[in-house]
Structure 1
Amino acid sequence: MALFDLPRAELERYLPDVAEPADLDAFWARTLQEARTHDLALRVEPVDTGLRLVEVFDVSFAGFGGQPIKAWLTVPAHRSGPLPAVVEYNGYGGGRGLPQGHLAFAAAGYASLFMDTRGQGSQWGDGGGTPDLAGSGPAHPGFLTRGLERPEDHYYRRVFTDAVRAVEAVRALDLVDPARVAVAGASQGGLIALAVAGLVPDLVGVMADVPFGCHFARAVEITDTTPYAEVTKYLAVHRDRAEQTFRTLSYVDGVNLGRRATAPLLSSVALMDTICPPSTVYAAFKHYGTRAGTTPDKTLEVYEFNNHEGGGGHQLARQLPWLHQNMAAAAPVAEAIR
């Protein structure tokens, strides 16, 4: 795939005006307040996976509407004291799969919580175990157009709420240091991580790779790949719903929620990415933290000749020392809190 978006020099100057609803903060405050009226219902059960250097737990907790969300918790078998933690979110269409596939952060010394994504898990990977118990109006196959009629009904309102509750769940564990929690994800997982960064004020770090769901209006205009093509195909049928569609999506846009973030960010972009166009990732990066008073530290790793795989293992190799540094910097604060 050749370059198809703006040249790199223009991308580095790119700062688009991304529409944001006036009631965005109130919308999400109401949403999370309602979610917290439900008991967290945290359940943690050990699982024998055959792995000897880590311990694995099957976790469930109450997400949006009090509905059960599953996750894998993986921790080093030999540990002392409360651990810093990483909450990880998955890519589009995948589920939590098997715990044997989520070992990197535990191997690096962290408690690792990998959240299942409601309703997903049947497009690739090893499956998921969390149904989406809420319905929606007419939608194109996939998840992006579910509930486009109203922001209150949109699929990602539920998912982002689940993701915030996942952070609350990991912080409720005795083996986790609640003052040292980071979030991570790629593609859809990167979007979810950006959203959580804007909704949870005291994270240690955010790792959002080739994030999906940023600057929807531009993405739909310049790429015809899924998931963005779901919106195009939906509007090709529902010709009178464009204004409402983009209004609804503005409530879950990673640019708008990421503006509110306060935690340091390590992100990545691939300049030949046809799934999450580079300009949309730059939009999220440039706007990240700009509503936080003081803009947090942020770094964007650029992979010039890669498609949506981004940096792959090279990005993980970049993440680990960055994560160690940020967790170490937060350690005195954590000690003071305790």
Structure 2
Amino acid sequence: MPLIDMPLKELYMYQGRNPRPADFDVYWVRAIAEMKAIDPQIELIPSDFQVPHADCFDLYFTGVSGARIYAKYIRPKHVITPHPAVVQFHGYSGSSQDWTDKLSYALLGFSVLSMDCRGQGGRSEDVGGVKGTTYRGHIIRGLNDHPDKLLYRQIYLDAAQLAGIAMEMPEVDPERVGVMGSSQGGGLTIACAALEPRIKRLAPVYPFLSDYLRVWEMDQAKDAYFELEYYFRNFDPQHVREDEIFMKLGYIDIQHLAERIQGEVLMGVGLMDTICPPSTQFATYNKLTSNKKLEIYPDFGHENLPKFNDKALQFLLGL
């Protein structure tokens, strides 16, 4: 098999390159406290899209920094309550997309929540308010400001807050909530379950937002990670601040959050992935301490992994 990264044996031993800030735990304790202090002002508005077997809602809540966050909410009819729920996260720059791809879970008796990331392709707000560039991506937004201003800090908290909102719904069993997503959605799945440890099962696929320094050293700051190159070329062309920059990115590196996860994990990875290199994904997987299983696709990259969605569904049916 051709290699674009380490041999598989080495991948299973790899522990990541991006540094972990010394105050990482304090940083996230403070962030969670900020999130929990918010009045979410939840709105549930019946959607224009409706189907016979479920009620569909536009859900809005207030996240950190006052942004209004949007999610699709599908509540199945004629099922036992409380019942399980699954929270879904989309890929980078996208949105929660159509209602139809969520209906299979509703048919099986799940409530389904699908979040639009703030400032990307959906309805959620990005209220801004950071010093420095806001061009060329969300990884670098806030990088020239206080670490609390990093945009992915806010997005990770949005994900955890939505899971908490799901758990408080009277029709949902808070002990039977799962999360899932691919690429950025996979990264948010990890972050959500780390910041909301009551999550019981999670199914991330080739997670983004892991081990930024490894991406850089592999010369893979392209495509989804292109903004790293943009940042250095425009704001630190001689890499005088390189150590500082990667240390700050460590606050939003999901590999450092992974050890907080208590739920069971089913993860998919393609070993030919040049968008989110396999080693960056293994950096996160290898730090998981809960029950976990990895589904490996040797010949696949950042694309549909055959039958993984079926495996994820069967996995989440165990909630």
User: What residue number does 2:22 align with?
Assistant: 22
Deviations 1:186-215 (A, max 9, x none): 111111111122212221111111000111
Structure 2 CA distance, aligned partners of 1:7 and 1:190? 23
2:304 aligned with 1:307:
no
Q: Could you tell me how far 1:77 is from its partner in structure 2?
A: 2.7
Flag structure 2 segments of 5+ consecutive residues without an equivalent: none
Q: Could you tell me how far 1:301 is from its partner in structure 2?
A: 0.6
2:317 aligned with 1:320:
no
User: What residue number does 2:226 align with?
Assistant: 229
Q: Quick one: structure 1 residues 55 and 282, their matched pair in 2 at CA, closer, same or farther if it must change by over 3 Å?
A: same
Q: Quick one: structure 1 residues 34 and 231, their matched pair in 2 at CA, closer, same or farther if it must change by over 3 Å?
A: same
**SS, match of residue 259 in structure 1:** helix
**SS, match of residue 58 in structure 2:** strand
Alignment of 1:41-190 (within 5 A): 41-121=41-121, 128-136=122-130, 137-149=132-144, 150-190=146-186
Deviations 1:147-206 (A, max 9, x none): 112321111011011111101211221111112111111111111111122212221111
User: What residue number does 2:241 align with?
Assistant: 241
CA contact (8 A) 1:209 1:310 kept: no
Q: Could you tell me how far 1:102 is from its partner in structure 2?
A: 2.5
Structure 1 CA distance, aligned partners of 2:37 and 2:263? 26
Structure 2 CA distance, aligned partners of 1:169 and 1:151? 26
Q: Could you tell me how far 1:94 is from its partner in structure 2?
A: 0.4
CA contact (8 A) 1:140 1:233 kept: no
- Partner amino acid, structure 1, of 2:124: T
Structure 2 CA distance, aligned partners of 1:256 and 1:228? 18
**SS, match of residue 139 in structure 2:** coil
CA contact (8 A) 2:264 2:291 kept: yes
Structure 2 CA distance, aligned partners of 1:298 and 1:39? 35
TM-score, scaled relative to structure 1: 0.87
CA contact (8 A) 2:65 2:127 kept: no
Count of residue pairs the alignment pairs up: 313
- Partner amino acid, structure 1, of 2:247: R
Deviations 1:65-89 (A, max 9, x none): 2321110011323312111111111
TM-score, scaled relative to structure 2: 0.92
User: What residue number does 1:252 align with?
Assistant: 252
Which moves more between the two structures, 31-40 or 188-197? 31-40
**SS, match of residue 317 in structure 2:** helix
Q: Could you tell me how far 1:64 is from its partner in structure 2?
A: 1.3
Q: Could you tell me how far 1:270 is from its partner in structure 2?
A: 0.5
Which of structures 1 and 2 has the larger relative contact order (alpha carbons within 8 angstroms, sep 6+)?
2
Q: Could you tell me how far 1:17 is from its partner in structure 2?
A: 5.3
Percent of aligned pairs with the same amino acid: 34
User: What residue number does 2:40 align with?
Assistant: 40
Alignment of 1:278-317 (within 5 A): 278-289=278-289, 296-312=290-306, 314-317=307-310
Deviations 1:239-276 (A, max 9, x none): 23322221221001010011211111111110111100
Q: Could you tell me how far 1:50 is from its partner in structure 2?
A: 4.3
